[in-house]
Amino acid sequence: MSQIILNVNGAVQPLELEPDMPLLYALRNHLNLNGAKYGCGLGQCGACTVIVDDQPVFACLTPCAGLDGKKIRTVESLGSAEKPGPLQAAFIEKQAAQCGYCIAGMLMRAQALLERNRHPDETTIREHMAGNLCRCGTHLRIIEAIKQVAGQNGSLT
C-alpha cells in the first residue's frame, strides 16, 4: 500500500491504495463516488469515463499511481438531481437515458469535448463520442443533447 493523493472534483483526497489499483475502484470503493460505472473492465464501453486533466479517460484502465497532482472530475462535479448542469439538463430534456448505465460516462466524454470545442459540428461530436457505447441505443438522443448544449451560449457547469 502507498499513500496516493488524488484531487477529485476539487477536493484533495489522501488515500492508502495499491498503486496499480484502477481509478474506478478508488472512486467507487474509497470515495463513494458511484457515478462512474464498471462496464466491461477493458476500456471498450466507456461507462467508467471520467476527466483527468481535461481529457476523458477510462477509469477502469487508469491506475491510481501517477495521478498525483492531476485534476480528476467525475459526473458528480457537473450538477445534482436538484440542480443539474446544462449538459445533464439537455440529456434529461432529450430523454437520452433509458437504463442510464452509460450516461455518466457519456456526460463526461461530452463535457470534455465541449470544454475544448464549444461549438462542435455533428461529425466531430460523433467521432468524439465513438469511444462510449450505449447498449439501449439512445445514441441519437445523446447526440441531440450535446448539439443542444453546443448551440447555447453560456457556462457548461
The per-residue pLDDT for range 44-67, each reduced to its tens digit, is: 999 999 999 999 999 999 999 999
Mind listing the pLDDT tens digit for each residue in 73-89?
A: 999 999 999 999 999 99
| All cell numbers assigned to 59 | 477509469
CA atoms of 38 and 121, how far apart (whole Å): 30
Residue 153 has pLDDT above 80, yes or no: no
Is residue 31 within 8 Å of residue 46, measured between CB atoms? no
DSSP-derived 3-state class of residue 146: helix
Asked if pLDDT for residue 137 goes beyond 90, the answer is no
Question: For 93, left (φ over 0), alpha (ψ -120 to 50), or beta?
Answer: alpha
pTM score: 0.93
pLDDT given at position 136: 87
Question: What sign has the CA pseudo-torsion 153, 155, 156, 157?
Answer: negative
Would you give the distance in Å from CA 25 to the centre of its chain? 15
